[in-house]
Structure 1
């Protein structure tokens, strides 16, 4: 995800935080649920900046 209004490349901490905040605002204004799907590393951690976990309402782990 990327917003041209903010500096940095897609996936860096600023971009992740601002894009997630924009999606959260959209979801609350329109009452439409938004799902963000990421991936888990081999060690079981969520990949990418951990700031995402603090913005969203819930983090779910799904296993097959």
Structure 2
């Protein structure tokens, strides 16, 4: 299984997504972590979003 990362275009950049056949949307997209996206990152064309930890759901009936 290929590792995936979430990327967004850097401000003022239009970045082609070769897998989707369109431009990377401003909101970002999950893409494969491969040489193409690593080059875009090195060139300053994209930023990588860091995943946020999800809060554990609290069950009010469960003792603490």
Q: TM-score range by the shorter chain?
A: under 0.3
Larger helix proportion of the pair: 1
Higher Rg: 2
Higher share of residues assigned strand: 2
So what's the TM-score if we normalise by structure 1?
A: 0.24
Highest relative contact order (Cα 8 Å, sep 6+), 1 or 2?
A: 2
